[in-house]
Chains A and B, each alone.
Chain A
Amino acid sequence: MPAIDERHQEVIKKIKLVMKDISKNITVERMPVLDVPKIGYDNTIWSEEKRMLTIGSKKVQVSPDSIKKIPTFSQYLVMANAVRKLLDEEMESTIRGMYYATLSTVGDDKIKQKFWNSQENSDDAIKAVELLTGVPREEFSVTSKPKGMISGPITLRVGGDVIDCSLGSRATSQLIPTNIRDLEIIDVKADFIMVVEKDTVLNNIRKSGFIQKYNAILLTGSGEPDRATRMMVKTLNEVWKKPVVIFTDADPWGLGIALRYKIGSESLSYDSDRLVTPDAKVLGMMFSDIYEYNIPEVARLPATEEDISRATDMKKKPWLNDKKWQKELSLFLQRKEKCELDAFFKHGFRYLAETYIPEKLRHAGLL
């Protein structure tokens, strides 16, 4: 497809431009500098207008002028070159593949070390290439293992095949491919989209006939959602105008996952425009639901120290100063108890899909 090739050409051109600037600086005896937008809390800005987290203007300067940055600098360049090669050869790769493709050792016989300490380093370098070129890695064919799943009345074109996800939707779900080039949404017949945290919960709900009964699409990121899953949710909401509801566990981790979909994350704040669905509704599971739905004490879990510090942290975030969230977090910090969606099975295997969720949806005005 010419358009995609053109997109690739753009990435190649941008990488070449980076290389050119560096070589120019060297030619005139200046230490080259890469200005990489800074990732993290202190460069994350809550945009009231967009209702999502966006990246600020802070930059990290990566230059071989400092001894600590020499390895980082060369890692970024090596990775950029590897991406360019990948595109030149019209191939695609996972992030792990990129790690292997660039494996090497540095130094002489006396002091020899690995070019990458671990795959984490190379993942960081890939991120840097994204930031430098301003192109997300899916668009230069570097992807991760798919783990998002979708089930319900939606028709996709994956590669060349048309897949109707409602077929067999009582038994299976369709994996969401991570390489978005391979994916096209052909038709959506559902009334709304329901995102759950885990595939186990999704399976339970699907089995109950929820999809058919409420004409819904079930979707999960299997924990932390990958980018393709987030983009899928966003597209369904904003392009196909389907309301999105989110159910996650009643713990800080689950709440974090729900917020990834709704407002974005600090680590991917530079890509929020493509990933975040501000109109998504986080319906459950609220901390207050633990008590309102009488989850028996045996099914509640005591909060760990990590949970507490996470929740305390979240409570301070300016984008969570909404009264409702503050109240929920305060409740959690006070009771120090958490609960998984699976805990509803204690009330019976169909309780979650046939009582709790419909009640929540009705309350939100979706049913």
Chain B
Amino acid sequence: MKPKHSIEVASTQVENVTSPRTSSSINNMGRIRYDKKAESEFFVDNSALAGFTGERILYMAVRELIENSLDSCEIHHILPDITLSLKLVDPLNDLWLISCEDNGIGIPADKVPVAVCSFLTSGKYVEKQQRGLFGVGLKMIAAFSTKDTDHPLRVWSKSSEDRAEHYFDLRTDINTNKPIVMAKNALKPPDGRIKHPSGFRIEAILRARLSPITKSRIYEYISQTSVVNPYSVLVFETDDGRVVFDRRTNAIPEPAKEVLPHPSDMDLKTLKKAVMNYMNQKTTIHGLLCSAFQKISGEKAKEIIGRAGVDLKAANLYNEHELIKIVNVCKHTKFQSPNTDHLSPIGEQILTAGMTSEYAITMNKDVRGSLPQDQPHLTVKVLKPSLTAYSSRTCVINNRPTVVECGIAYGGDIGSFKLYRFANKIPLLYDEGSDVAREVVSEVEINRMGISKKEVKEQFSTADTKSDRAVEMLPIHIFFHICSTKIPYKTAGKESIAAEGELKKYMKSCLADLYRKVSAQIRKELRVKDAENRLRLYRHYIPFIIEAISESIDIDAKRLYELFNKLAERHVKGESLPTKPNYIEDTITEDRIQQEVGKDTLAPSKTASPNMYGEKALGDEDKYLRSNTSALRTKKKTSILAPSKDNQPENLRHTTRIKNKKRKKKEIDNQITLDKFDKFRRPREPGRR
């Protein structure tokens, strides 16, 4: 084993450096020991760089394992079949067993120990879109397992190259970044653990606490992963139960291809690396530019060299001063946009498959006690929206080609607004507030699509609606996927994306596209919902109306109820109903009171037809005299303050009224005061009439 590098600058005792008392002594001044740290030690000490901090260890472990497995499958067009298990094995010491098995290409037996344990060893150091990039994740799991427990990592690997399965017990030598192979066995078919033609399985014991919040984040992570990977089967086993995310499509995105660097992104390092790579081929700088970079034609290469003013000679003969001139020229030259072969967007078909049956893990609330022991506490709910839409844009951000994909799932089982963010197919769960997607959603107005906030509020707003924005009251899920070899993350934690360059502009135009696509449907649904609400309102109030009527007059309440309901339904559907001016007698006249109420003919006659009433109302003006209320009052007989002396029998009063009727209406109107005060008790004093 390679010993730790250490360079002694001055001979000194290390402990002196850390002790303030001794470091102040003159003898020990200026003596510093420079150590070189192994990568493994560095990453274990700075685990936050890879996101492995306290609470989040298990979350990160789940992420890394799933992402590695998905990458390993997609690279060879294999439909992923992944089983992840997370179980608490020793509650006293917070020990968790995490295991992950996939049907990917596996790792050749000789590479397994380094691939699992040595930091910064990766098969992914190429210019193409992948989930993992740095060769850190899996190694962190190995290092943490080694650091915190005495259990080895158990690894099964069946490489697609030789189809032979091998088993390993591994630990990491954190001081040297080297794997320690404790056991290695070749497994013949009956003993093999991996059922698939190839694959990889790992089991690790980790010491970690899992808070309910982190737990739900893990569930959320897996749910969201399944949305953008609908072509994979995901099995997730926990102490709370086992959930299966089915494969919803057999389409798998075109795997990303490795591409040559784009010249606008050229720097001294890339150019020198190209020179090194082409060392043996004895090419000129002209040939090198054409073959080591994309989008440089012979013509263009000539132009670059000419403008750089360097002599033409074998590529390996240039010194750094000459090479930097070429770099400088390239920085100022316009090239065609980089091609996107190295990107692997999800694509319309696959994202739509994910959106049309969105799987979400739900936890049963009453976990302990009330549920039977064998009933799983975790279940998968499949959300089927009533419509989905997809839109994408390709653009160049930071000289890197970037694909923006946006999807919308609306209505159906979806109950409320939710924003999903993905970067290179990885769900982003934290820091939503500071993400560019958030800004995009709040800046693109759905109101412009003919959907008014008021309408939305009326139909969808509930007590727990927090936002005041129209779109956030809709039952809508918005998905943003950004893929690039260099995602402009806002922070080292890689949980939110910055509004770099024109990224926001492209995202906005994507979203506006989608709003256009779905707004017609939303408008339609709003109308339907509005009609439903109106009908419900009728259903709620009709009983009150019917009760009031049926208590007052003798009528078949049940029949009237049915008729009114039918009328309301037709009305809500927008069928034209005659109202004004064809409606029936609306004016109360003395005559009608006498004729209709008096004769006790209150129930509508069964032979009644609209025409009959219509004619009555419009034709016989004289009879159905439309008097206003003040005119009515003129005919009142009784006084206000004193009871009337008018004790005529019923039939006699009838005749009085019929006589009154013969007076012209105008006259009646002018009669008010006299008519009224006539009936007052006369004052005893003389002088009045």
Residues of A within 8 A of B (CB): 1-4, 6-7, 10, 13-35, 37, 50, 54-55, 57, 61, 63-65, 67, 70-71, 73-74, 77-78, 80-81, 84-85, 104, 106-108, 111, 115, 131-135, 139, 180-181, 183-185, 187-188, 231-232, 235, 238-241, 270, 273-274
Contact = CB atoms under 8 A, between A and B. Distances in A.
Contacts, number: 213
A82 to B, nearest CB: 8
B545 interface: yes
By CB atoms of chain B within 10 A, which of A3, A107, A232 has the most?
Answer: A3
Contact of B549 (A22, A29, A85): A22
A270 B631 CA distance: 11
Interface in B513-553: 534, 536-538, 540-542, 544-545, 547-549, 551-553
Nearest to A238: B677
Given A3-B643, A33-B586, A35-B586, A77 B549 contact: yes
B567 A26 contact: yes
Given A3-B647, A31-B577, A80-B548, 8 more contacts: A14-B597, A26-B564, A57-B628, A64-B568, A78-B545, A85-B551, A239-B677, A274-B640
Contacts of B190: none
B684 interface: yes
Contact of B602 (A16, A29, A231, A240): A16
B688 A241 contact: yes
A26 B567 CA distance: 7
A15 B638 CA distance: 19
B633 interface: yes
A63 B586 CA distance: 12
Nearest to B645: A3
A61 B646 contact: no
B641 interface: yes
Contacts of B592: 17
Contact of B684 (A14, A106, A187): A187
Interface stretch (B43-51, B307-315, B603-611): B603-611
B609 to A, nearest CB: 7
A184 B641 contact: yes
Contacts of B642: 184-185
Contact of A30 (B548, B579, B644): B579
Interface in B658-689: 672-673, 676-677, 680-681, 683-685, 687-688
28 contacts: A3-B638, A6-B653, A10-B593, A15-B552, A17-B588, A20-B596, A20-B597, A22-B545, A27-B608, A28-B613, A30-B578, A50-B672, A50-B673, A55-B628, A64-B545, A65-B571, A70-B538, A74-B541, A81-B548, A81-B549, A107-B540, A134-B629, A134-B632, A135-B633, A180-B641, A184-B643, A188-B683, A235-B641
A3 B544 contact: no
Contacts of A63: 579
B570 A29 contact: yes
A231 B548 contact: no
B293 to A, nearest CB: 65
Contacts of A35: 586-587
Interface in B547-584: 547-549, 551-553, 555, 560, 563-564, 566-568, 570-571, 577-580, 582-584
Nearest to A81: B548
By CB atoms of chain A within 10 A, which of B567, B580, B680 has the most?
Answer: B567
Contacts of B637: 3, 6
B598 interface: yes
Contacts of A14: 588, 593, 597
B641 A183 contact: yes
B547 A180 contact: no
Nearest to A83: B552
B137 to A, nearest CB: 48
B544 A23 contact: no
A35 to B, nearest CB: 5
A273 B549 contact: no
A178 to B, nearest CB: 13
A107 B544 CA distance: 11
B548 A241 contact: no
Nearest to B586: A35
Nearest to A112: B540
B585 interface: yes
Contact of B630 (A54, A115, A187): A54
A184 B640 CA distance: 9
Contacts of B578: 30
B579 A81 contact: no
By CB atoms of chain B within 10 A, which of A1, A26, A132 has the most?
Answer: A26
B553 A29 contact: no
Classify the secondary structure of A's interface with B: helix
B544 A106 contact: yes
Nearest to B682: A239
A38 to B, nearest CB: 11
A292 B538 CA distance: 63
Interface of B: 534, 536-538, 540-542, 544-545, 547-549, 551-553, 555, 560, 563-564, 566-568, 570-571, 577-580, 582-588, 592-593, 596-598, 602-604, 608-610, 613, 628-630, 632-633, 636-638, 640-647, 653, 672-673, 676-677, 680-681, 683-685, 687-688
A3 B641 contact: no
B629 A84 contact: no
B644 A235 contact: no
A240 B582 CA distance: 49
5 pairs of A and B residues whose beta carbons are closest in the complex: A134-B632, A81-B548, A134-B629, A77-B548, A13-B597
A32 B604 contact: no
A34 B544 contact: no
A25 B537 contact: no
Contacts of B645: 3
A34 B683 CA distance: 41
A20 B541 contact: no
By CB atoms of chain B within 10 A, which of A63, A180, A181, A235 has the most?
Answer: A235
A30 B582 contact: yes
B586 A70 contact: no
A74 B585 contact: no
B549 A28 contact: no
A31 B537 CA distance: 15
Given A37-B628, A134-B633, A239-B680, A21 B584 contact: yes
B545 A65 contact: no
Given A28-B610, A70-B541, A184-B642, A17 B597 contact: yes
Given A19-B548, A23-B549, A24-B584, A241 B683 contact: yes
B552 A84 contact: yes
A239 B540 contact: no
A21 B681 CA distance: 37
Contacts of B566: 29
B548 A78 contact: yes
B641 A30 contact: no
A26 B544 contact: no
Contact of B567 (A29, A33, A106, A107): A29
A4 B547 CA distance: 27
Given A13-B593, A28-B608, A28-B610, A273 B541 contact: no
A187 B682 CA distance: 10
A37 B626 CA distance: 13
A338 B681 CA distance: 42
B598 A28 contact: no
Contacts of B537: 67, 70-71
A19 B579 contact: no
Contact of A20 (B563, B604, B685): B604
A131 B643 CA distance: 23
Contacts of B638: 3-4, 6-7, 139
A18 B588 contact: yes
By CB atoms of chain A within 10 A, which of B537, B640, B645, B672 has the most?
Answer: B640
A240 B683 contact: yes
Nearest to A188: B683
Contact of B563 (A27, A67, A74, A235): A27
A303 B343 CA distance: 75
A31 B571 contact: yes
